[in-house]
Amino acid sequence: MKGIINFDLNEISLIILNIVAYFVIFLFPKKLSREMTVMSLLWGMTIGMLFDFTMGGGLMDFYKVNDTNDYELFDIFYYFLYAPFGYAFMYFYKVLRIHKHSFVFYIITWAGIGLLAQWLFTILNVITLQNNYIIAYSFPIFLITQTVTGLFYRYVSGRD
Amino acid sequence: MENTILFLYLMIANMNWSWFIFEEFQLLKYSEQPMNYTAYLMNRSIIVPLIILYTLNLGEDSVSVIKRSIHALVSSILLLLLTLLSLQLKVITSKNWNIIYDFLFFIFLYVSCYLIYKWYRSFVLKGEVQTK
């Protein structure tokens, strides 16, 4: 594990994005139960880490997080940034009263948001694509993860 | 829902542990053969968390500490056998590693998971009741 290699754009962006994301969560009216809030934050973080550790490392190694392929201190900031996405997904699922017919559109919208976020992270040098990987390949992955998340939320929240 | 939270915690803990010992310190090496590598991923992300979670679910809150310790010990031995099987089948290869460290880590996972469960019951669920 490495500390901080270069303190530049990606590190500053991660600090700002984390502050903004968690501040927004704090400001949102509390619509989710405490149990659901904990679960959504942890869910977002775990899904992000699962794909980073599987696709961003190991045999596939499709992208580099921050400055090196090694585990860095700011990688932890990056993983913490996944948690608010999990929260926002379940929060808006409830607020927008997503049902069977709007489910598909909601998932596609979130897959689009995922692509936009990934594009932003490449611009900010938080992630660097490698081994011929392009952002478009992430779209089906987002579709699968968001669908699983949506179905899981429906199951635990008892919605039809 | 508490089982989901515990499962997610176990996944995070085990993936990070694996990352450190395989990628950072290179004490163990995973196979580069696709099927074996898939087996490694499944063991890392699904099998280990599931077995520990299952063991934790074996006992109700009233189960004695001794019985709980036996559960933890038996599940850690089972996971250790799976590690030995992985070594035997060349899913992973040891470079500079003693599997006793794996055993200690499994015990740590079980204990930390139990403590998170206790925290969850006291902080999250009780807080929920108070706010209702």
Nearest of B112, B128, B106 to residue B6 by alpha carbon: B112
- Three-state SS at A85: helix
Cβ–Cβ under 8 Å, residues A46 and B4: no
Count of CB contacts below 8 A, A vs B? 61
ipTM of the complex in this document: 0.89
Any chain A CB within 8 A of the CB of B119? no
pLDDT of A97 over the 60 cut: yes
Show the tokens assigned to B49: 């968390």
Q: Please report residues of A whose CB lies closer than 8 A to that of B20.
A: 1, 71
Cβ–Cβ under 8 Å, residues A122 and A94: no
pLDDT of A62 over the 50 cut: yes
Any chain A CB within 8 A of the CB of B125? yes
Can you tell me which residue has the tokens 């992270």? A121
Check residues A120 and B96 and name the one with the higher pLDDT.
A120
Cross-strand bridge partners of residue B30: B92
Residue-wise pLDDT tens digits, A6-61: 788 889 999 999 999 999 999 999 888 888 999 999 999 999 999 889 988 888 88
d(CA A55, CA A63): 8
Radius of gyration of chain A (CA): 16
Instruction: Name the residue among B1, B11, B24 with its Cβ closest to that of A39.
Output: B1
Instruction: Name the residue among B8, B45, B124 with its Cβ closest to that of A35.
Output: B124
Note the pTM of the prediction, 2 decimals: 0.90
Going from the C-alpha of B52 to that of each of B13, B76, B86, the distances in angstroms are 12, 8, 18
pLDDT of A94 over the 80 cut: yes
Q: Identify the pLDDT of residue A160.
A: 43
pLDDT by residue for chain B (132 residues), tens digit each?
889 999 999 999 999 999 999 988 889 999 999 999 999 999 999 999 999 999 988 876 667 888 888 989 999 999 999 999 999 999 999 888 888 999 999 999 999 999 999 888 887 777 665 555
